């Protein structure tokens, strides 16, 4: 599942993906996938989320990391980096 999300994110030009929420704590029982991302502009971010939902048959909540705010900083601190074009994932 994670590998497919990463491949899709590359197709959409993502530079960074962070998994957060219930999927980190209980991946087998999570009812949705929470993802924060950088590098996907405008409405493409919602197309990306829709494609994940269609292919994996699970609801997706997506949050842009830019512009930064208290919530995105919390995600960066507590979340799990899935992909980072800078090579830190």
- Per-residue model confidence as pLDDT tens digits over 59-76: 999 999 999 999 999 999
Which pair of tokens denotes residue 49?
């989320």
CATH code reported for the domain at 2-84: 3.30.460.10
The structural domains of the chain, with segments of one domain joined by +, span 2-84
The pLDDT of residue 25:
84
CB atoms within 10 A of CB 79: 21
pLDDT at 10 over 70: yes
| 3-state SS class at 42 | coil
The pLDDT of residue 37:
97
Contact 35, 60 (CB under 8 A): yes
Residue 83 phi, psi (nearest 5): -155, 135
CB atoms within 10 A of CB 47: 12
pTM for the whole structure: 0.90
Rounded-to-integer distance, Cα 55 and Cα 76, Å: 26
- Per-residue model confidence as pLDDT tens digits over 19-74: 999 888 887 788 999 999 999 999 999 999 999 999 999 999 999 999 999 999 99
């Amino acid at each position: 599942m994670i590998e497919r999300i990463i491949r899709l994110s590359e197709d959409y030009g993502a530079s960074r993906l962070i998994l957060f929420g219930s999927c980190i704590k209980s991946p087998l029982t999570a009812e949705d996938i929470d993802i924060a991302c950088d590098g996907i502009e405008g409405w493409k971010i919602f197309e990306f989320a829709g494609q994940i939902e269609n292919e994996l048959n699970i609801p997706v909540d997506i949050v842009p990391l830019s512009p930064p705010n208290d919530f995105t900083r919390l995600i960066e601190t507590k979340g799990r980096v899935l992909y980072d074009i800078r090579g830190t994932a």
